[in-house]
Every structure is written in C-alpha cells, then in structure tokens.
Amino acid sequence: MPSYYLSAHNYLKIVTALSDAKISDATYLIERLKFVKSPAELAHV
C-alpha cells in the first residue's frame, strides 16, 4: 500500500479528534491537484 493512503488506524484517530467535523473523501481532488504544476516545478521537468 502506498504511503499516501490513509490507514484505518489513522482514520479512526482523525475521526475521534475531529468528532464534530464532516469527513469527506478527497481522493479525486488530490489526484487532480497533482497535475497542476507551478512554473518552478515545470522548470525541473
């Protein structure tokens, strides 16, 4: 499992710590953000 996946253990810790918050899956948001590159990042590609 890649390190960027959220383990069940860590998920439960987050849910407990943020008990009043709404937790949503943002997987697709993060995947799409990976495609956005700054000029500085593009200079290294």
| Per-residue DSSP letter, 5 | S
Residue 15 lies in a domain: yes
Contact 23, 15 (CB under 8 A): yes
Token pair, residue 44, equals 């290294």
pLDDT along the chain (45 residues), means of 10: 76 92 81 82 85
In a domain, residue 1? The reply is no
Global pTM reads 0.46
Containing structural domain, residue 39: 8-43
Please indicate, yes or no, if residue 13 is contained in any of the structural domains. yes
Q: For the chain, how many structural domains are there in total?
A: 1
Q: Is residue 3 part of a domain?
A: no
Q: Name the 3-class secondary structure at 3.
A: coil
